[in-house]
């Protein structure tokens, strides 16, 4: 049998070589031969590579580039940070900016904002627009999107992710991937897996049950693999005492169980061992011998774990040709899909269309959290508006770590408000000073803080309306890579500012710009609250559109806002649960993440998952299913009538949660299994149908290591947030 296998392999190589030669004779490279399939092209190219050329494909040659094969005319691959936009050009061999004059881009809203839109069409628009900019900048791989789960509100990188619910993240990530990759640019889905904090991220060993891994932390990655993401990025942390960039268990799930055919890439500096890298599924090594962030290497790229050490191991028989060829095939496949794809478009950069897309996404994701006395919208501008708060003028694309951007323009909230209300006198007070955006150190204020505070209160007292623009920023220990937040409260004395302003003016609107939940005990003092996220280049216009009512807010929270930090499940179990003891941490809340924790433990959130108000009103009625009993492999067709009963056009998100009435294992009170955003004119009524696979009711059965959809009764809860349910429908799943 072995001799037969060798003969087949030899024949395959011969035929591949022949095809390559015939293509060359036709005066065109093999990758341009339309008669060949992708797999045939891969084998044809592979057969022409020397051992050394194959190895060179597996490790970087610069900060953001990996080699091609010059002898065959195969160009290098180019990478760029940017789940929210294409990062400014970085120097070849250090982390400094190259200071080019042609790398200014559109800054798109943070992924928390996209997730809050609950709108897959906007996710596709986002991906298309970002992919076009990456393509124009001649990038082959864009390092995003991020789909790590929002476990608790202190994680410095939560703003880069898609919230606390695996189903929401799964639905939103797929069109984003398709949109980017239609431009011939690979997405790099990150960070696989369990990278849910920045503290000790480079080494902390995460202990989590198999159920929680499968039900909470892997589904969005599985959805990304199913959508055909061309690359994945490993996480810095460890799982099962192996670093995730070369983790045997995680890579078996990805490449064998899910049959994913892409290339697996380290996060920068995430490789730690040649043998594990070779044997545990790592294909491309980036950033080794730096701390992944700031320190420059004194080593040559040949010292990478998958460079000379790998080559030497192949030559002395420690590693096999099959191990090398698997990596080379995946990288060649990536090359064929990107820079060897002669049909990919040319792309475009910082266009008017992209600015409109960024604004539309920002508007679609903004969440109206509170609106007492119908304070909003501001239909007619009063005589004097006080815009208070540093975030009204701050460039929130600076800082934050690898997602930092160099936008072509930044429309600040102050500018947007001024342009939208030209008839009003607009006065601005900075109110606080957080200092310059810093990556690894907190910024130092340059103003007298007491004077700023007093000036803000005076401006509030002398105005008809106050728009306080605050929240977090992307300084160290705010929403920023490499460190977590140090407090759940708003920083820079903002709670006192808000209370003092509300004491002298009853008409206060708070606009929160952040990628994380914040403590809101000050909320009863103000009339309205808008969660505006990090809204990108067009933030000011989007915020002004929502405040004025030009756009009716329709965003919904993609994560819960606990009343106090200890109400969060991960935090409630103490240090071993978060942030760990410096060596390991244990996910003690298990599957009860986010609203699953709040609902099951009956701990009310300040603002629950899926929550968001509107300037109009909606009525949900007549919810019904197409049957009462379903097979475990069946699909439920759920219909519901929705009517816009108010006076403004707007959108509502119908949400369907599922509860297992009686289960053999502990389960959350309810879990999101379907949603649909519906746009209705004032007075309009529609019937909306949603399809819910019964298989989505399954839990991960640790006794059989498989998904288990138990027979019995389930409750479908239909509403417009996790805590606002309009109808309960009981259905039965029959035994197989």
Q: What gap in Å lies between CA 528 and CA 532, rounded to an integer?
A: 12
Q: In what order do the strands lie in the sheet with 584-586?
A: 242-243, 238-239, 205-207, 584-586
Taking the domains of the chain in order of start, what are their residue ranges? 1-39, 49-337, 366-559, 560-615, 618-733
Q: Is 492 helix (H, G, I), strand (E, B) or coil?
A: coil
On whether the 49-337 domain is CATH 3.40.50.300, my answer is no
Q: How many other β-carbons are positioned within 10 Å of the β-carbon of residue 416?
A: 25
Residue 5: predicted pLDDT: 43
Q: Which CATH superfamily is domain 366-559 in?
A: Glycoside hydrolase family 3 C-terminal domain (3.40.50.1700)
Q: Is 695 helix (H, G, I), strand (E, B) or coil?
A: helix
Q: What is the biggest distance separating any 2 CA atoms in the chain, rounded to whole angstroms?
A: 90
Q: What gap in Å lies between CA 726 and CA 718, rounded to an integer?
A: 6
Residue 607: predicted pLDDT: 98
Alpha helices per DSSP H over 366-478: 413-420, 449-461
Residue 22: predicted pLDDT: 46
User: Are 120 and 176 in contact, with CB atoms under 8 Å apart?
Assistant: no
What's the CATH number of domain 618-733, 2.60.40.10, 2.80.10.50, 3.30.1330.10, 3.10.20.600?
2.60.40.10
User: Are 345 and 133 in contact, with CB atoms under 8 Å apart?
Assistant: no
**CA–CA distances in Å: residue 115 to residues 86, 232, 607, 618:** 20, 20, 16, 22
User: Are 576 and 586 in contact, with CB atoms under 8 Å apart?
Assistant: yes
Q: Find where tokens 């529609």 sit.
A: 686
Residue 444: predicted pLDDT: 84
pLDDT mean by block of 10 residues, the chain; 736 residues: 45 48 62 94 97 98 96 97 95 90 97 98 98 98 98 98 98 98 98 97 97 98 98 98 98 98 97 97 91 63 94 98 98 98 96 98 98 97 97 94 95 98 98 86 85 98 98 94 95 97 98 98 98 98 98 98 98 98 98 98 98 98 97 97 98 98 97 98 98 98 97 98 97 92
Distance of CA 344 to the CA centre of its chain: 25
Residue 289: predicted pLDDT: 80
List phi, psi (to 5°) of 643.
Answer: -130, 135
Residue 2: predicted pLDDT: 42
Q: Is 79 helix (H, G, I), strand (E, B) or coil?
A: strand
> In what helix (H) or strand (E) does residue 721 lie, and over which residues does it extend?
strand 712-721
List phi, psi (to 5°) of 650.
Answer: -175, -175
Beta-sheet strands, E only, within 293-398: 367-371, 384-388
Residue 115: predicted pLDDT: 98
- pTM of the shown model: 0.95
Angle of CA points 5, 11, 15, to nearest 5°: 145
Q: What gap in Å lies between CA 720 and CA 733, rounded to an integer?
A: 25
Q: Is 141 helix (H, G, I), strand (E, B) or coil?
A: strand
> Which residues are marked as active site?
267
Q: Which of 703, 543, 699, 671 is nearest to 599 (CA)?
A: 671
Residue 84: predicted pLDDT: 97
Angle of CA points 480, 482, 487, to nearest 5°: 60
Residue 437: predicted pLDDT: 82
């Amino acid at each position: 049998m072995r001799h037969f296998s060798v003969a087949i392999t030899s024949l395959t190589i011969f035929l591949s070589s022949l095809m390559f030669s015939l293509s060359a004779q036709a005066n065109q490279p093999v990758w341009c031969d339309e008669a060949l399939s992708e797999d045939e092209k891969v084998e044809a190219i592979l057969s022409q590579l020397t051992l050394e050329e194959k190895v060179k494909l597996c490790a970087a040659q610069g900060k953001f580039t990996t080699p091609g094969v010059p002898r065959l005319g195969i160009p290098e691959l180019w990478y760029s940070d940017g789940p929210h936009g294409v990062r400014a050009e970085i120097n070849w061999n250090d982390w400094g900016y190259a200071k080019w004059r042609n790398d200014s881009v559109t800054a798109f809203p943070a992924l928390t904002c996209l997730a809050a839109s609950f709108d897959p069409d906007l996710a596709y628009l986002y991906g298309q627009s970002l992919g076009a900019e990456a393509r124009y900048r001649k990038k082959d791989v864009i390092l995003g999107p991020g789909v790590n789960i929002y476990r608790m509100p202190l994680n410095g990188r939560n703003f880069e992710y898609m919230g606390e619910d695996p189903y929401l993240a799964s639905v939103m990530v797929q069109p984003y991937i398709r949109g980017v990759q239609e431009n011939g640019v690979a997405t790099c889905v990150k960070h696989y897996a369990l990278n849910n904090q920045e503290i000790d991220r480079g080494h902390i060993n995460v202990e989590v049950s198999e159920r929680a891994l499968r039900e909470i932390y892997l589904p969005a990655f599985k959805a990304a693999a199913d959508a055909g993401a061309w690359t994945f990025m490993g996480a810095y942390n460890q799982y099962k005492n192996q670093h995730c960039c070369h983790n045997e268990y995680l890579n078996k799930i990805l490449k064998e169980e899910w049959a994913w055919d892409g290339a697996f890439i380290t996060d920068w500096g995430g490789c730690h061992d040649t043998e594990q890298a070779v044997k545990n599924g790592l294909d491309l090594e980036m950033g080794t011998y730096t701390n992944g962030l700031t320190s420059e290497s004194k080593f040559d790229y040949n010292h990478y774990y998958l460079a000379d050490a790998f080559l030497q191991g192949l030559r002395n028989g420690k590693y096999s040709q099959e191990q090398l060829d698997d990596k080379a095939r995946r990288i060649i496949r990536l090359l064929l899909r990107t820079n060897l794809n002669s049909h990919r478009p040319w792309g475009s950069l910082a266009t008017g269309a992209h600015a409109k897309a960024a604004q539309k996404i920002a508007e679609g994701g903004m969440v109206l959290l509170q609106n007492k006395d119908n304070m909003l919208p501001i239909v007619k501008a009063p005589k004097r508006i006080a815009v208070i708060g540093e975030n009204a003028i701050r460039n929130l694309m600076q800082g934050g770590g690898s997602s930092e951007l160099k936008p072509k323009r930044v429309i600040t909230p102050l500018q947007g408000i001024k342009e939208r209300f030209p008839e009003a006198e607009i006065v601005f007070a900075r109110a606080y000073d957080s200092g310059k955006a810093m990556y690894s150190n907190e910024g130092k204020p340059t103003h007298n803080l007491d004077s700023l505070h007093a000036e803000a209160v005076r401006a509030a007292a002398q105005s008809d309306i106050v728009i306080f623009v605050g929240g977090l920023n992307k300084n160290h220990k705010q929403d920023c890579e490499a460190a977590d937040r140090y407090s759940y409260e708003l920083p820079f004395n903002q709670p006192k500012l808000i209370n003092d302003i509300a004491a002298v003016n009853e008409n206060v609107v708070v606009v929160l710009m952040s990628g994380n939940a914040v403590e809101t005990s000050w909320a009863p003092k103000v009339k309205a609250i808008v969660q505006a996220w990090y809204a990108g280049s067009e933030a000011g216009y989007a915020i002004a559109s929502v405040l004025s009512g030009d756009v009716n807010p329709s965003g919904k929270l993609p994560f819960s806002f606990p009343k106090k930090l200890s109400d969060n499940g991960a935090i409630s179990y103490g240090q071993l649960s978060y942030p760990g003891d410096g060596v390991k941490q244990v996910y003690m809340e298990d599957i009860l993440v986010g609203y699953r924790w709040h609902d099951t433990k009956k701990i009310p959130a300040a603002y629950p998952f899926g929550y968001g108000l509107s300037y109009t009103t909606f009525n949900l009625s007549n919810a019904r299913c197409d049957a009462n009993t379903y097979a475990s492999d069946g699909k439920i067709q759920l219909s519901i009538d929705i009517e816009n009963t108010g006076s403004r056009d707007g959108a509502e998100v119908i949400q369907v949660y599922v509860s297992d009435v009686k289960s053999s294992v502990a389960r959350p009170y309810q879990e999101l299994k379907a949603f649909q955003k519906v746009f209705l004119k004032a007075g309009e009524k529609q019937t909306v149908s949603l399809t819910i696979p019964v298989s989505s009711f399954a839990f991960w059965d640790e006794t059989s290591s498989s998904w288990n959809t138990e027979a019995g009764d389930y409750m479908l809860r239909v509403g417009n947030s996790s805590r606002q349910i309009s109808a309960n429908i009981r259905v039965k799943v029959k035994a197989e």
